Structure 1
């Protein structure tokens, strides 16, 4: 064998720039569409119009998160099967495409029964949203495996910053559009139009993602630097959990990340009710809900541009305590909000905190997997799945507390949880300086 043929093969980066910008545009289009059906601003206001029960309003973010996070273990296994056939992108497009179909149900139900049968409308919304996010959760490990393969590590910080920034721009634009619709169209037609536009654009984003040029199945880009696991290997469920236990026991930084993410998920009981509280306590209108979303996304854009520079200089771990402290500031400001205008500042804090924690959410599992030489898809799936109980229970517990004692105790618990998250984040920064043991071959 010649020296040239025996040399280590390098990843094919011919399409790196093409993929980079299409993925950034992917973030823009998805955010533009998803903001029309935002679980943090528009949907809580819509549910508050349908029912006086806070617990049902809290079910929206709970279903949103459980649908996105719970199926990722299964999705990681299916992604591995798709990898063996060189079809990760096809897998994402098919499953995500099927998952858009249930979102037609709340559009039709709201148009037909919006004024007469709120129970039917609410059920169609929760089921349609749940199935849509379920499909997103199934494909997420494969999606991020593709991102990890086509965006070289030196360009990751810039990619995550631009992708989130473009998403924030798209979100702000659609939030203003949603505000106009909700202010000028009578109930329920403003919401019907928002749901229809949102469904159209989150479906169109699949056309954008289809432009990404997937590397060949045997391209070294599919393996993280130093990764010991075989690309496309499908393991049994018992072995998957054993391997996960080994990952957690050997990677202290990942353990801290799981703890911090769980605490942040617990703290999310407060943001889940900012918009509901505005409707119940301060008389916010449907259009105000869209304004909250616009302010949140505008501050998210500002934060993203800043956090990209911060992460490039100090690593993404620093974003965990920064985002947590900003989240605590949002909860504190919500306690003292005397009117709807004050809450605009609260949602500005939410956007800054969400952009920091969101960037950490997307970047740190990939970075830690590659640092440990393990499967990116497995880290992403484990990261999301193991924090599900906290993210699901949090808004539901918040709804029970709010119904019995009001919104101040909910915000108080969130402040404590955010403070604990910040403490864990500082420990992560220190732990990143400690080398981890080399993984055993599997």
Structure 2
């Protein structure tokens, strides 16, 4: 059963990783949305929806699941709803008639897709913590991201061909359709995982009591507080992510097909760095993973500024996305495994739910990036992002203690 769960969980991650290639908020979606509006606020709003959709419902779901012996049902139902949302986006994109109406419907369905992930997320993480032992979690996330990254490399090439050869908007509709099929298979795989019963079932308590306990955890658990600060800073860095590709693409008037090259560069960063992150995480060196990935995020911002101002070859424009891939996969591996390690088994739902929901005020920051760009500049936004990344590096030393 353990091997079955391990394999199904890995296949689930591989396919979700592959699907993310075609609906990426750092490459595909910013360029797609820019076809409908030039508003930096709307571009930032898409990133904010992605960030908050996963985090917002988790404390409420965690409280609801506290007294449940099995939790997989709360993964299955919202996950298939999110499949329906992304599938509808694909179908509607094939026949865009009214641009303003379509954009509103897209944002609504995209919100449902991500909120569904947030509702399912607590059950997913809880099941992973029960069926994957700590010594294998680094490998678990590593295989998901590593093999998924290799598939995503092929997906990047496919995206390049589709964007270059198929007319708009059918090219993007086809990308979304591929993503929806991959999502459906991924959900079906994890739905087949054998969930063991919960060993520490909590008695029902009020939301007031639940959140009060969460505040107590934040004030008393130093590692929890430090990890939260790092993750909050990462959320602030996230506000810059949709704008790297927009800045580079507009600076050199690059065609949409070049997006495929940026995806390939980002996925190469995922795959190569994942070989390092998974090994370090297996040795419980998650603070070091966070530290090194924060440096990669710093280099993303700096290399974007230097690349546009001093570029001598278009290949140099791929460097920021290489570092971005390294930084994102490292942060996701490092902070997720750190959180699972910090959370006591009997309070796992409380730790996961409170941690993620408390992040929401920081996760709604991406639309503010539009105002930074408008009143300062793209360079100002990326300098801010680099300072945030360095701050994450500093706090990782505190976490290590």
TM norm structure 2:
0.94
What SS does the aligned partner of 1:40 have? coil
From 280, 287, 296, the equivalent of 1:317 is 287
From 250, 260, 278, the equivalent of 1:280 is 250
What does residue range 353-368 of structure 1 map to in structure 2 within 5 Å? 353-368=327-342
> In 1, distance between residues paired with 2:126 and 2:153?
28
For structure 2, the 5+ residue unaligned runs are none
> In 2, distance between residues paired with 1:332 and 1:147?
36
Match of 2:399 in 1: 428
Match of 1:91 in 2: 74
> Is residue 2:159 matched to residue 1:178?
yes
> Is residue 2:91 matched to residue 1:108?
yes
Match of 1:294 in 2: 264
What does residue range 359-398 of structure 1 map to in structure 2 within 5 Å? 359-370=333-344, 373-393=345-365, 395-398=366-369
What does residue range 110-259 of structure 1 map to in structure 2 within 5 Å? 110-113=93-96, 117-215=98-196, 217=197, 222-223=198-199, 230-259=200-229
> In 1, distance between residues paired with 2:329 and 2:204?
34
> In 2, distance between residues paired with 1:178 and 1:233?
49
The answer to whether the 8 Å contact 2:126/2:349 transfers is yes
Deviations 1:199-255 (A, max 9, x none): 12112211111221111x2xxxx45xxxxxx32544311111111112112210110
> In 1, distance between residues paired with 2:239 and 2:377?
13
What SS does the aligned partner of 1:325 have? helix
Match of 1:343 in 2: 317
The answer to whether the 8 Å contact 1:73/1:385 transfers is yes
Deviations 1:301-358 (A, max 9, x none): 1111111112233521211221111101110011122365322100000011111101
What SS does the aligned partner of 1:49 have? coil
Deviates more, 1:116-125 or 1:261-270: 116-125
Task: Quickly say closer, same or farther: Cα 1:79–1:139, change in 2 above 3 A.
Answer: farther
What SS does the aligned partner of 1:235 have? coil
> In 1, distance between residues paired with 2:202 and 2:79?
20
Match of 2:232 in 1: 262
> Is residue 2:377 matched to residue 1:406?
yes
Q: How much has 1:30 moved relative to structure 2?
A: 1.1
The answer to whether the 8 Å contact 2:91/2:177 transfers is no
Task: Quickly say closer, same or farther: Cα 1:347–1:241, change in 2 above 3 A.
Answer: same
> Is residue 2:326 matched to residue 1:352?
yes
The answer to whether the 8 Å contact 1:321/1:422 transfers is yes
Deviates more, 1:317-326 or 1:231-240: 231-240
What SS does the aligned partner of 2:25 have? coil
Deviations 1:147-187 (A, max 9, x none): 01111222222212222212222322222211211111011
Q: How much has 1:137 moved relative to structure 2?
A: 0.2
> In 1, distance between residues paired with 2:135 and 2:203?
26
The answer to whether the 8 Å contact 1:168/1:297 transfers is yes
Task: Quickly say closer, same or farther: Cα 1:369–1:51, change in 2 above 3 A.
Answer: same
The answer to whether the 8 Å contact 1:106/1:121 transfers is no
Match of 1:80 in 2: 66
> In 1, distance between residues paired with 2:260 and 2:42?
20
The answer to whether the 8 Å contact 2:50/2:111 transfers is yes
> In 2, distance between residues paired with 1:383 and 1:205?
26
What SS does the aligned partner of 1:51 have? coil
> In 2, distance between residues paired with 1:164 and 1:306?
12
Deviations 1:378-421 (A, max 9, x none): 2222222111211211x111111112322000001011111111
How well do the aligned residues superpose, as a CA RMSD in angstroms? 1.7
> In 1, distance between residues paired with 2:377 and 2:347?
44
> In 1, distance between residues paired with 2:89 and 2:140?
34
What does residue range 36-55 of structure 1 map to in structure 2 within 5 Å? 36-55=22-41
What SS does the aligned partner of 2:35 have? helix
Q: How much has 1:47 moved relative to structure 2?
A: 0.8
Task: Quickly say closer, same or farther: Cα 1:404–1:117, change in 2 above 3 A.
Answer: farther
